[in-house]
Amino acid sequence: MENSEINRLTQLLSDAKAVIKHQNSELTGLLESKSQELEEILGNIDQIIWYIDSQTLSLQYVNRAIGAVFGFTKEDFLADPTLWQKRIHPDDRLLVRSFFETLIPGASQEIRFRIHRVNGELCWLNSRIHHNEKLDLFVGITSDITQSKLQSEEIAFLAYYDPLTMLANRSKLKLQLHSRLEHSPLIPFALIYIDLDNFKNINDTMGHETGDQILIEVARRLRELVTHDQLLSRFGGDEFVVYLNSSDPIYIDNFCTQLGEIFKIPFTVHDVPFFLSASFGISMYPEDARSSEDLIKHADTAMHEAKKNGKNQFVYYHSSMQRAIHNFLHVESLIRDGLKHDFFELYFQPLVSAESLTLQGFEALMRLPHPTAGFITPDAFISVAEKNGDILHIGQIVLEQACDFIEMVRLNHPDPFYVAINVSAKQLHQVNFAHELLEYLKIRAIDPHYLKVELTESAVMDNIEIAGSQLHTLKEGGIHIALDDFGTGYSSFAYLAQLPISTLKIDKSFIDTVCEIDSHSHIVKAISNLAHVLGMSVTAEGVETEQQFNFLVENRIDTLQGYLLSKPITKEEILHNLTTFTPFFLPEKALVYSI
C-alpha cells in the first residue's frame, strides 16, 4: 500500500477518534446533566428513595430526604453503607432482616419498623421495597409515618380506653368478656358493678371540673385493688365495672368490703373534702347469665337493688330482681299506652269536716282504667312513673282534669270547696313548677284558693331549699299546701315551722291501728297538738271504722277522709249527686260520737 493511502487512512482514523471523543464528551456531559437533573428531582421528594445491595444489604444510593428523617446527612449514609441498619430499633432488626431474606425476586412488599433518630427519638417508617433481580438490588421508597401512627394509636386508645381516668371503657370490657367466654367457657367468674352514691349532686353544685377530679381519684384508688388477672373499667359517668377472675363468695365479699373502705377517706379537691359512698351489684358466671350483655345487665340490676336498700352496700343478683324489672317494663308500657290514648282518669274522694260533717273538698286521685289490662292502681304505676319521668306528664293531666272538675263543681255547688292534687318530687324540683302552675290557673280563670297541693315529706325534704322556694311561691299565689303521709318521714320541726304548710295529713298506717296500738294513738294526738300549735289544720286519711271516727273527732282532727265516709268516685257520680242533692257520704254511719 502506498504511503499516501496509509496517510489518508491514518488521517481518517484520527478524525474518527476525534469525533468519537467529542461525542463521548458530549454524551458524558449530557449524562452528567441528566444525572444532576434526576438527583435534583429526587432530592426534592419528601420520601426517602434508596437502593441497597441484595447480598450485603449495604447502601448504594439514597436521596437527601433521609437527612430530615434520620438526622444524619446523605453523605453520612454513603460513607457508612451499614449506618441505616444500625439506626433500626433493636427489637425490629430481626424483623427487617427476615423481610429482606424472604422477599421474592421481582416482588414488591411493604414493611413497617422503628428507627432511632440522631437525637434518640423514636420514629416509625413505612417502606415499599422491590427486589430487582437483574440489578441484584433492593429498591425502596420510605415514608415517615410517626404522626399518623401516633394518631391511629390515639384513635385505638380512645376506642377502648377512657381518656379521663385512663381505664378500659365499656367497649374494652365487652371485648374482654367475649374473649373470656369464648376461650374459657367452663371457668366461673364474677362482675361487680359500682355506682357512686349521690355523685350528681357534686356535679350540679360544684361543677363538672370538680366531679372529674374526684372520678380520677376514685379510679386511682380502685386501680390499687385490682390485680393483673382482673379488669377495671369505667363503664360511663360515675359507673365502674370490675371483672374478677374468681367465683369464691368469701373472696368476693372481702373484695367488696375493700372497695367500700376506699370511700371512707374523703376526696379532696382544692382543699375541699368530699365524702362519698358507693353501691355495688354482683353477678356470677355462669349461674346468673351466660352472655356478657346479661352479666352486665344483672350486675347493674343488683347495684340498683343495693341503692334501693339504702346505698353504701353490695348486693348479689337474684332472679327475683329480674321479675321486678319485667313487671316495671310491663307497667311502663301500660303507662305509655295510657298517655297515648288518654286512658288516665281522675277520681275524687270527699274530704269532710269532723266537726260539722260538711263537705270541705275533694282529693283528686289518678286512676288508669286500661281497656285490656284492667284497672291499674296508683300503687302500681306511680312509682314507675316517678322513676322513668312520666310523672311529669301525668302531673299535667292531673292539673288539667282537676281544673275541669273545679269548673264543673262551681256551676252546681255554691259553697266553698277545694280540690287537693298530689305533686311528686320530680314536679316540685322543676325550676318553673310553681310559676307555671299559677300561670295555668290564670289562663283557666280559676281562683288559686280552689286548689290545694299535697306533697309527701320525702318530696319536700329531698331538697329543702328548692322545695321551700316553690312552696312559698305557691302560697303567695293563693294555693294552700298539705304535707301528706306525715309521721312516716324525717321532717325537722325547724323546717316544718318555716315552710308555708297549712295542713298536716296523718298517714293511713297510724289511722289503721289507732284504736289498737297505744303508740299510734299517742302519735296521732301529738301530731294534732303540734299542728294546732303551729296554726295548721289536721287531716286523717283512711278512716274506715266507727271507732276510728270517734277517736279522731275526740282528738280534734279537723278533716276526715276514708271509705267510712266515701270511696273515691268519678266526676260523673259527683255531678249526679250535686244535681240530685244526693249526699256523698252517710254521716249516720259514723255518728256515734255526739258533737
The span from the CA of 15 to the CA of 280, in Å, is: 103
Given a contact cutoff of 8 angstroms between Cβ atoms, the answer to whether 451 and 406 are in contact is yes
Closest to 240 (Cα-Cα) out of 214, 210, 264: 214
The span from the CA of 89 to the CA of 114, in Å, is: 5
Closest to 417 (Cα-Cα) out of 531, 559, 541: 559
Closest to 359 (Cα-Cα) out of 410, 415, 422, 406: 415
Which residues does 208 contact at the CB level (< 8 Å), separation at least 6? Answer: none
The span from the CA of 454 to the CA of 268, in Å, is: 40
Question: Interior CA angle at 487 toward 481 and 489, to 5°?
Answer: 85
Q: Which amino acid is at 415?
A: D
Given a contact cutoff of 8 angstroms between Cβ atoms, the answer to whether 370 and 337 are in contact is yes
Q: Which residue has the cell 305533686?
A: 423
Claim to verify: residue 450 and residue 580 sit in the same structural domain: yes
Give the burial class of 242: count Cβ atoms within 10 A of its Cβ; 0-12 exposed, 13-18 middle, 19 or more buried. Answer: buried
Closest to 212 (Cα-Cα) out of 227, 221, 201, 202: 202
Question: Interior CA angle at 439 toward 436 and 444, to 5°?
Answer: 125
Residue 27 within a domain? no
In 474-487, which positions are buried (b, 16+ CB within 10 angstroms) versus exposed (e)?
A: bbebebbbbbbbbb
Whole-angstrom distance between the N-terminal and C-terminal Cα of the chain?
Answer: 170
As a three-state string, the secondary structure of 302-331 is: HHHHHHHCCCCCEEECCHHHHHHHHHHHHH
Q: Which amino acid is at 519?
A: S
Grid coordinates of 238: 360515675
Claim to verify: residue 300 and residue 369 sit in the same structural domain: no
Domain boundary among the residues 251, 284, 317 is at 317
Residue 13 within a domain? no
- What one-character DSSP code corresponds to residue 430? S
Phi, psi angles (nearest 5°) of residue 11: -65, -40
Claim to verify: residue 434 and residue 545 sit in the same structural domain: yes
Claim to verify: residue 347 and residue 467 sit in the same structural domain: yes
Claim to verify: residue 382 and residue 280 sit in the same structural domain: no
Claim to verify: residue 481 and residue 359 sit in the same structural domain: yes
Grid coordinates of 315: 348486693
Q: Please report the sign of the dihedral spanned by the C-alpha atoms of residue 421, residue 427, residue 431, residue 437.
A: negative
Which residues does 411 contact at the CB level (< 8 Å), separation at least 6? Answer: none
Claim to verify: residue 235 and residue 94 sit in the same structural domain: no
Residue 216 within a domain? yes
Q: What is the CATH number for 130?
A: 3.30.450.20
Residues of the chain with confidence (pLDDT) below 50? 31, 589-595
Report how far apart, in Å, the C-alpha atoms of 448 and of each of 30, 395, 475, 499, 537 are.
104, 17, 9, 19, 19
Claim to verify: residue 381 and residue 512 sit in the same structural domain: yes
Domain boundary among the residues 150, 178, 194 is at 150
Domain boundaries, position 109: 48-150
Q: What is the pLDDT of residue 242?
A: 96
Claim to verify: residue 361 and residue 284 sit in the same structural domain: no
Closest to 114 (Cα-Cα) out of 125, 100, 128, 127: 125
Mean pLDDT computed over every residue of the chain:
87
Q: Which amino acid is at 352?
A: V
Which residues does 258 contact at the CB level (< 8 Å), separation at least 6? Answer: 225
DSSP lists the bridge partners of residue 346 as 366
The span from the CA of 289 to the CA of 360, in Å, is: 57
Residue 324 within a domain? no
The span from the CA of 179 to the CA of 199, in Å, is: 33
The span from the CA of 363 to the CA of 44, in Å, is: 88
Phi, psi angles (nearest 5°) of residue 305: -65, -40
Claim to verify: residue 109 and residue 245 sit in the same structural domain: no
Q: Containing H/E element for 274? A: strand 272-274
How is 8-55 classified by DSSP, letter by letter? HHHHHHHHHHHHHHHHHHHHHHHHHHHHHHHHHHHHT-SSEEEEEETT
Domain boundary among the residues 125, 150, 175 is at 150
Helix (H, G, I), strand (E, B) or coil at 351: strand
Q: Containing H/E element for 363? A: strand 359-370
Which residues does 223 contact at the CB level (< 8 Å), separation at least 6? Answer: 167, 232
Residue 21 within a domain? no
Claim to verify: residue 266 and residue 389 sit in the same structural domain: no
Q: Which residue has the cell 281522675?
A: 346
Domain count, the chain: 3
Q: What is the CATH number for 260?
A: 3.30.70.270
Residue 361 within a domain? yes
Residue 38 within a domain? no
Q: What is the pLDDT of residue 587?
A: 53
Claim to verify: residue 399 and residue 429 sit in the same structural domain: yes
Residue 226 within a domain? yes
Q: Count how many residues are written for the chain.
A: 595
The span from the CA of 511 to the CA of 560, in Å, is: 11
Grid coordinates of 503: 295542713
